[in-house]
Amino acid sequence: MVKSMPWLLFICLIWIHPALYADKSEPRILFLGDDNTFHGGWVVEVESAIRAQRGYARASIVNMGLLSETVSGLSEPGHAGGSFTRPHLKNRLSRVLTQYKPTLVIAQYGMNDGIYLPMDEKRFKAFQEGIINLRDDCIKSGAKIILLTPSLYAADQLPEEKEYEKVLRAYSAWMVAQRKVGWQVIDVHSRLLLEYKNAKLADPKFIFANDGVHPTEKGHSLIARSVWGGLAPGMMWLKDTPLVSDSAKLRPLYKSMVVLRNAWLSETGFNHPLVNQGLSLDTAEMRSTEYLKEYFKGL
């Protein structure tokens, strides 16, 4: 009973004291990206570390990643069996920025943007223009933006199956090169390569992504560590903050992420036949509040 008292006091301070309630001057953090962001395993682990920072326990943190999405506007023939083309971030970004009004955007694109084909200058240019437009639009809206290089492709497959990985490395290298003109870029791709090698050394049976694209739960944890390693110092947060990776402890935070994600996607509009409509924002916010209370009590 004695051990639980500090957390009970912490919960009371967060949920009762008016001075600690989020207001318009407090951060509003938005995650954008494709499948791996949408599924959100790495997002909630990073969120757990953000909420551990002073003043961020009740910050507004919303994941608006969308399945299949690109910044390039490209879509391969026969995508999803020919049932629909890939969504283009450009078609919803203005609404997202205007309605949610983020102060910080964390965005990861690239995996879908080369549409799983060999390196091609036209596709590369489309990706570059998409990233530039994303960054410019965020800055014009008043938000700070931190760009993440893409994840790994076919990390667990044979060398001959990794041709597309060369594309992602080229995309990542270009993004990192933009640091010299003031861009904030976290090289998740390079960090992940090291994390993956270490994970394989520790456990030769470790699998990052069974299908080569969508990470396992442990794969998401590697992404989270790779993101946090660059995000924390860039935001002057405590780099040594442990990320919560225990699935049971994270469950309420994951539920909060999903209910807010679906509500905000519906509120701002999206184009994807396989993504369900969410609850109203008011209902989603109330449920998120309860999930967050449950999360903090479980720490």
Instruction: Determine if residue 114 is left, alpha or beta; phi over 0 gives left, psi from -120 to 50 gives alpha, anything else beta.
Output: alpha
Whether 49 shows a pLDDT value over 60: the answer reads: yes
Q: Give 85's DSSP letter.
A: P
The whole-number pLDDT of residue 25 equals 59
Mean pLDDT (the chain, rounded) = 91
> Could you tell me the sign of the dihedral formed by the alpha carbons of 25, 264, 211, 113, in that order?
negative
Span 258-278, pLDDT tens digits:
999 999 999 999 989 989 899
Whether 10 shows a pLDDT value over 80: the answer reads: no
Please name the amino acid found at residue 48.
Answer: S
The whole-number pLDDT of residue 271 equals 87
Q: Interhelix angle for 5-16 vs 281-298, to 10°?
A: 160
pLDDT band at 11 (very low <50, low <70, confident <90, very high): very low
The whole-number pLDDT of residue 78 equals 83
pLDDT band at 32 (very low <50, low <70, confident <90, very high): very high
Q: Interhelix angle for 121-140 vs 90-100, to 10°?
A: 20
In whole angstroms, give the CA distance from residue 236 to residue 25: 18
And the tokens for 8?
Answer: 């009970």
User: Could you tell me if 262 and 276 are in contact, meaning their C-beta atoms sit under 8 angstroms apart?
Assistant: yes
Whether 143 shows a pLDDT value over 60: the answer reads: yes
Could you tell me which residue, 1 or 104, shows the higher pLDDT?
104
The whole-number pLDDT of residue 154 equals 96
- The arithmetic mean of pLDDT across residues 50-55, rounded, is 96
Q: What percent of the chain has pLDDT above 70? A: 92
In whole angstroms, give the CA distance from residue 183 to residue 181: 6
Span 149-191, pLDDT tens digits:
999 999 999 888 899 999 999 999 999 999 999 999 999 999 9
- The arithmetic mean of pLDDT across residues 75-97, rounded, is 92
Span 188-229, pLDDT tens digits:
999 999 999 999 999 999 999 999 999 999 999 999 999 999
Whether 12 shows a pLDDT value over 90: the answer reads: no
Q: What's the pTM value of the predicted model, to 2 decimals? A: 0.91
Q: Which domains does the chain have, with CATH numbers?
A: 25-298 (3.40.50.1110)
